[in-house]
Structure 1
């Protein structure tokens, strides 16, 4: 049951975020040959000024092995 978290700079419309979540869901279900009901997608808005502290350091630098 994949759960995908997408973190992006704030300012995208709900329509854009919904379209992204749908595209991610389609990619996951197609790749893993699973049903849509088994995939969840979270979209997290991050202010650009907070990117380094909230995303880059913990999720990118801190998890280089993944």
Structure 2
């Protein structure tokens, strides 16, 4: 614990995914002083169509649990 779940549009390379996984893991280690052994991270890819449902469930109207709010309309991705 903690676990990070990254959800994003399809199209990133495996190298990009590994790079963000390392960066986020290191950020947790540095900012929370948590051992690497306790950290897990998953990455899920979605089409623009699938993202509409993910955005509605995971982002829209989540209030205080969203620490960085997006400034775009997900429909613009279609």
Post-superposition, which runs of at least 4 consecutive aligned residues in structure 1 deviate over 4 A?
Answer: none
TM-score (norm 2): 0.77
Q: CA deviation at 1:2?
A: 0.3
Spell out the pairing of 1:3-14 with structure 2 (5 A cutoff).
3-14=3-14
TM-score (norm 1): 0.89
Q: Distance in 2 between matches of 1:20 and 1:51?
A: 20
Consecutive unaligned residues of structure 2, counting only runs of 5 or more, are: 66-78
Greater helix share, structure number: 1
Give yes or no for the alignment of 1:44 onto 2:39: no
Between Structure 1 and Structure 2, whose CA radius of gyration is higher? 2
Consecutive unaligned residues of structure 1, counting only runs of 5 or more, are: none
The CA RMSD over aligned residues, in Å, is: 1.1
Alignment length (residue pairs): 65
Q: Distance in 2 between matches of 1:62 and 1:6?
A: 18
By relative contact order (CA 8 Å, sep 6+), the higher-ranking structure is 1
Give yes or no for the alignment of 1:65 onto 2:64: yes
